[in-house]
Amino acid sequence: MKKGKKVLVLLGSPRRKGNSAILAEKIAEGAKSKGVSVKTVFLQGLNIAPCTACYACQKPKSKGCSIDDDMQPIYRAMLEAGAWVIASPVYWFTLSAQMKIWMDRCLAFPAYGKDPFEGKRIAIAMAYGGEDPFDSGCVNALRTFQDAYSYVGAKIVGMVYGSAMEPGDIKSDRSLMREAKELGRKLAGNKG
């Protein structure tokens, strides 16, 4: 990404300062160090309805999603940004409900522009309880992102994830914090 480009951070935790949000903040810090502007959207509390499978967004000459809610400005922000940071805690062996509703509503995203996912650069940040990314379900969530973005032609630049239960616990993993900041630099760069 060139100087002046935008990164959109999508926080899928119900906690504004939760562990996945802290990881996303570090990624954003790294991106900002490369001169990139960052916009953050906290999904919790927004009026985003689940997809109703009406398929209005899939019809020729569609104007977008038929649901008029808080997802509409998010679609615009998604279009404007060359890169996204997607942050979610692991809940019940996969991504959070807040993130899943956003992801489901991405079905309509192609109605907002020709191949809008193509070339998007994505960083994933996840926090999970337990000691293992496999038995915690973190790997399930990561695989969901890998499959979806491979299908639509977006590029996952990198992923950071770690174990933390209480809000702020993730900060004690200094190596992970450095890795997250470096991912932000990489996300803002032209390669990776």
Q: At 47, phi and psi to the nearest 5? A: -85, 85
Tokens of 35: 């001169």
Tokens of 160: 């950071």
Q: What is the pLDDT of residue 31?
A: 97
Enumerate the domain spans of the chain: 6-188
Task: Print the SS3 string covering the chain.
Answer: CCCCCEEEEEECCCCCCCHHHHHHHHHHHHHHCCCCEEEEEECCCCCCCCCCCCCHHHCCCCCCCCCCCCHHHHHHHHHHCCEEEEEEEEECCEECHHHHHHHHHHHHHHHHCCCCCCCCEEEEEEEECCCCCCCCCHHHHHHHHHHHHHHHCCEEEEEEEEECCCCCHHHHCHHHHHHHHHHHHHHHCCCC
123-172 pLDDT tens trace: 999 999 988 888 788 898 999 999 999 999 999 999 999 999 899 999 99
Walking along the chain (192 residues) 10 residues at a time, the average pLDDT comes out as: 75 95 98 96 97 95 95 97 96 94 97 93 95 84 94 96 93 97 92 48
Please say whether the beta carbons of 171 and 162 come within 8 A: no
Q: What is the pLDDT of residue 123?
A: 98
Question: Facing residues of 128 across strands?
Answer: 163
Question: Facing residues of 94 across strands?
Answer: 91
Q: Which of 85, 97, 95, 94 shows the shortest CA–CA distance to 154?
A: 85
Q: What is the pLDDT of residue 3?
A: 39
Tokens of 28: 């954003």
Tell me: domain 6-188, CATH 1.10.150.120, correct? no
CB atoms within 10 A of CB 53: 7
Q: What is the pLDDT of residue 4?
A: 45
